[in-house]
Amino acid sequence: MRTLVSLLLMLVPAVASAQWIPTRPQAITRWEMSVFGGYRWGGSFDLREQQDSASILSVDVGDDSVLGFSIAAPIGADYHAELFSSRQKTAVHGAGTGGGVQVSGDMRITYLQLQAVRSWFHRNGLSTHLGFGGGVTRIDPSLVGFSNSDRFSLSITAGAKFDLLRHLALRFDARIFWTVDDAPLERTSDVPAVLDAGRLSQVEATLGLVARW
């Protein structure tokens, strides 16, 4: 939380001389940069003890806070190309069928996504937006025998912005992520460990500040 507050304060000098926004609707055609924090829910995936094993390990990903940032470039009236990163550090735990292999530890899950975002409903400083895109899920498990893994993922964003100043806005987002690559997690040692990873889906809600120029 201290990190998020520091990032938010960094945006204030950039808008210190801004004037209050007009109330008439406007097309959004400016660059935007935002920092945000929030919470991410859900997530589970299946692992196997061996390549062709019928023993399945169901792993649950804990709910936890997220921090992130984004930068958006205008690509037309009310359209942006937005690149954002959202990171979560959380706990994972699971047990195999029949009391087999067990997993417990920490995992960092970072989404780096590029989305096409459409804004509309510009009224009295309020606007809504919807985005869709894809990118990479970075899975960094603090589990014995596993290394980092980058996987392809898709995402949808729905949210709203409320203009505080001409160059500063408050932003809310709800996002859904699907990590669709089920390639095996790589091992770094020969200790008994699972191999095959299944798909991962997560949902997050965030609140942040947006600077425009």
19 within a domain of the structure (yes/no): no
Task: Decide: 152 and 140 in contact? Cβ < 8 Å.
Answer: no
| Strand boundaries in the chain, DSSP class E | 32-41, 44-48, 56-61, 64-76, 79-96, 102-123, 126-142, 149-165, 168-179, 200-212
- CA separation for the pair 70, 119 (Å, rounded): 16
Q: What are the φ and ψ backbone dihedral angles of 135, each rounded to 5 degrees?
A: 175, -135
Supply the pTM of this predicted model. Answer: 0.80
- Please work out, in degrees rounded to the nearest 5, the angle formed at the alpha carbon of residue 47 by the alpha carbons of 94 and 175: 80
* Cα torsion 20, 23, 29, 33: sign: positive
pLDDT of residue 149: 81
Average pLDDT over residues 78-97: 88
pLDDT at 104 over 90: no
Among residues 37, 29, 89, 45, the alpha carbon closest in space to that of 63 is found at: 89
pLDDT at residue 184 in the model = 60
What pLDDT is recorded for position 26? 47
pLDDT tens column, 17-71: 444 444 444 455 689 999 999 999 988 877 665 555 555 667 788 999 999 999 9
Mean pLDDT of 175-181: 89
- Selection from 87, 77, 85 nearest residue 115 by Cα: 85
CATH of the domain at 208: 2.40.160.20
* Domain carrying residue 205: 2-14+24-212
- Number of domains comprising the chain: 1
Q: Rounded distance, CA 207 to CA 203, Å?
A: 14
Helix (H, G, I), strand (E, B) or coil at 114: strand
Tokens representing 137 are: 């899920």
d(CA 153, CA 111): 8
Q: Residue 132's pLDDT is what?
A: 98
Q: Is the pLDDT of residue 153 over 90?
A: yes
pLDDT band of 15, cuts 50, 70, 90: very low
In a domain, 147, yes or no: yes
Q: Which residues contact 64 (CB under 8 A, 6 or more apart)?
A: 39, 40, 88, 89, 90, 91
Whether 122 shows a pLDDT value over 80: the answer reads yes
